[in-house]
Amino acid sequence: MDAEGLKSLGWLLLWGGLFFVMMRYGCGAHMMGGRGHGGHGGHGDATTGGDAKDPVCGMLVDSQKAAAAAVRGGKTYYFCSTSCRDKFEQAPDQYIGASTQGGQQHGGHHHG
């Protein structure tokens, strides 16, 4: 293999490596339901461990580190804050229906 062939192979390996890293740990991990950003799989309501969707604001919450949780109908819902849990407690049917019908976001507040 000549020098030009080795150079081309090197570029191919570099770009392939970058593609792999982005798909495994970056934005591609979200698209593929992977473990990007410390999650444990798909999005939505979790039962034990992993990412759960706060049914009030739609924020992804690590169920192991959630600020609050509530149980309805044998299912545990996790919340980013106690204020989201309190809103849920006041009208759980409003949020449970929304989270199971396509995950529309309610309450649109910011954390940070």
Distance CA 78, CA 36 (A): 20
Q: Are residues 68 and 93 in the same domain?
A: yes
**Residue 29 in contact with residue 81, Cβ under 8 Å?**
no
Query: Which residues sit opposite 78 in a β-bridge?
Result: 69
Q: Is 36 a member of any domain?
A: no
The Cβ of residue 3 has, within 10 Å, a number of other Cβ atoms equal to 7
Q: Are residues 65 and 95 in the same domain?
A: yes
For 3-20, the pLDDT digits (tens) are: 999 999 999 999 988 888
Domain count, the chain: 2
Instruction: For the chain, count helices (H), then strands (E).
Output: 4, 4
Q: Are residues 14 and 53 in the same domain?
A: no
Q: Are residues 16 and 46 in the same domain?
A: no
Burial category of 20 from C-beta neighbours within 10 Å (exposed 0-12, middle 13-18, buried 19 and up): exposed
Q: Are residues 54 and 6 in the same domain?
A: no
Q: Is 3 a member of any domain?
A: yes
Output the pTM of the full model: 0.47
Q: Which tokens hold the place of 71?
A: 């149980």
Residue entry with tokens 């392939």: 16
Q: What average pLDDT score do residues 7-35 get?
A: 75
pLDDT score recorded for residue 68: 93
Local confidence band at 79 (pLDDT 50, 70, 90 cut-offs): very high
Supply the range of the domain harboring residue 93.
Answer: 42-107
Q: Are residues 46 and 75 in the same domain?
A: yes
